[in-house]
Amino acid sequence: MASPLPSIPRAVSSLHSILPSPVLLGPEASGARRRRTPGAAVSATFQWNRMPQLAGETPRVVVVTSGKEGVGKTTTAANVGISLARFGFSVVAVDADAGLRNLDLLLGLGNRVHYTAVEVLNGDCRLDQPLVRDRRYPSLELLCISKPRSMFPLGFGAKALTWVVDALRSRASGAPHLVLIDFPAGIDAGFITAIAPASEAVLVTTPDITALRDADRVTGLLECDGIRDIKMVVNRVRTDLMRGKDMMSVLDVQEMLGLALLGVITEDSEVIKSTNRGYPLVLNKPPTVAGRAFEQAAWRLVEQDTMTAVMVEEEPKKKGFFSFFGG
């Protein structure tokens, strides 16, 4: 059985010095094209001497989406999911990528998936059988929609996934605090299926024009489906390129998409290593900057808190990576 979250104040007491709070801009400076979620500015220092307080009714059903492949959507789902479990919340992570599922591998649970949601719907097993509990943090469970290299079966659509989520909500052992749904990038039939039971979304993008164009399209479709609570994670940020004007700043991304900012994740070579090990980045010791950023994003998701804006200093006082964050 996993040990409890190690002494949060001690484990991350140096977080503020390693990942200083971002530059907060007022409404007149942000100039966002559209503002869908009136997220409050994140406080200067996270209150790491307490656990985050869950906002909203439970279970909160959150879809983790992106417009483009390769932006880190599944990596975000895995790290946010395990972070929420470390905070003490019960989480069901649903891998709705039929045929190309990867969430089980990133969580290190690939060898333990024997049943899927499709088999529950077919009456071949009970609901509890395809739920794979993480041994490190037992409050995290994984539910795969189908087996690898298989397509969505005929008849499995939005109503079927909604039934699965409703079954989780009413199960005898109690409803989870959060349901995270990870599904393939794009806007095909799988997209319509995955967003059906969701009430909020986390949009993952990278600061490049192709990813942003696709992200904007996905945002519009989410809104058309009635999902207005949309927050974004900007992934694979490289501050050296931003300072050289070779990559859009996070402020540029926010202005283009007009979304509340949940987190900024820097480019980190440890991601590949953690993926190959089936060991989420947030569990690395010592923790990496990107891992802590994922943990902060999970915290903000729980408390419905957001960052207002982040930008590169024009004339940073310090040379090096952390001057990007205002340190």
Contact (CB, 8 A) for 292 and 265 = no
Q: Cα 322 from chain centroid?
A: 23
Phi then psi for residue 177, to 5 deg, are: -70, -40
Question: How large is the average pLDDT for residues 146-173?
Answer: 81
pLDDT of residue 33: 44
Give me the percent of the chain exceeding a pLDDT of 70: 76
Q: How far is it, in rounded angstroms, from Cα 140 to Cα 321?
A: 33
157's tokens: 């659509």
pLDDT of residue 149: 58
Average model confidence (pLDDT) for the chain?
Answer: 81
Residues with Cβ within 8 Å of 232's Cβ and at least 6 positions away in sequence, in order, are 202, 203, 204, 205, 215, 253, 254, 257, 259, 260, 261, 262
pLDDT of residue 282: 95
Q: How far is it, in rounded angstroms, from Cα 234 to Cα 175?
A: 30
Cα-Cα-Cα-Cα dihedral sign, residues 249, 260, 221, 102 = positive
Q: pLDDT by residue (tens digit) across 97-135?
A: 876 788 999 999 989 999 999 899 889 999 999 999 999
- Strand segments (E) across the chain: 60-65, 91-95, 132-133, 140-144, 178-182, 200-205, 229-237, 260-266
Phi then psi for residue 166, to 5 deg, are: -65, -35
Domain presence at residue 205 = yes
Strand pairing partners for 94? 143, 181
DSSP reduced 3-state for 158? helix
Q: How far is it, in rounded angstroms, from Cα 184 to Cα 76?
A: 13
Nearest Cα to Cα of residue 91 among 318, 314, 302: 302
Question: How large is the average pLDDT for residues 207-214?
Answer: 95
Residue 253, burial from CB neighbour count under 10 angstroms (0-12, 13-18, 19+): buried
Contact (CB, 8 A) for 138 and 91 = no
Residues with Cβ within 8 Å of 48's Cβ and at least 6 positions away in sequence, in order, are 8, 9, 12, 13, 15
Residues with Cβ within 8 Å of 162's Cβ and at least 6 positions away in sequence, in order, are 196, 197
Q: pLDDT by residue (tens digit) across 285-311?
A: 888 999 999 999 999 999 988 876 554
Q: pLDDT by residue (tens digit) across 10-29?
A: 333 333 333 333 433 333 33
Banded model confidence at residue 187, pLDDT cuts 50, 70, 90:
confident
Burial 287-306 (b: 16+ CB within 10 A, else e): bbbbbbbbbbbbbbbbbbbb
Domain presence at residue 217 = yes
pLDDT of residue 258: 94
Q: pLDDT by residue (tens digit) across 42-97?
A: 333 455 567 788 888 889 999 999 999 999 999 999 999 999 999 999 999 999 88
Report yes or no on whether pTM surpasses 0.75.
yes
pLDDT of residue 301: 96
CATH code of the domain in which 89 resides: 3.40.50.300
Domain presence at residue 201 = yes
Domain presence at residue 48 = no
For the chain, the domain total comes to: 1
Question: How large is the average pLDDT for residues 163-187?
Answer: 92
Banded model confidence at residue 317, pLDDT cuts 50, 70, 90:
very low
pLDDT of residue 243: 86
Domain presence at residue 1 = no
Banded model confidence at residue 155, pLDDT cuts 50, 70, 90:
low
Q: What angle do CA 77, 44, 71 make, to 5 degrees?
A: 25
Domain presence at residue 119 = yes
Residue 208 has pLDDT above 70, yes or no: yes
Task: Give the domain range for residue 301.
Answer: 8-42+55-325
Domain presence at residue 164 = yes
Residue 168, burial from CB neighbour count under 10 angstroms (0-12, 13-18, 19+): buried
pLDDT of residue 128: 94
Q: pLDDT by residue (tens digit) across 191-201?
A: 888 899 999 99
Domain presence at residue 250 = yes
Banded model confidence at residue 322, pLDDT cuts 50, 70, 90:
very low
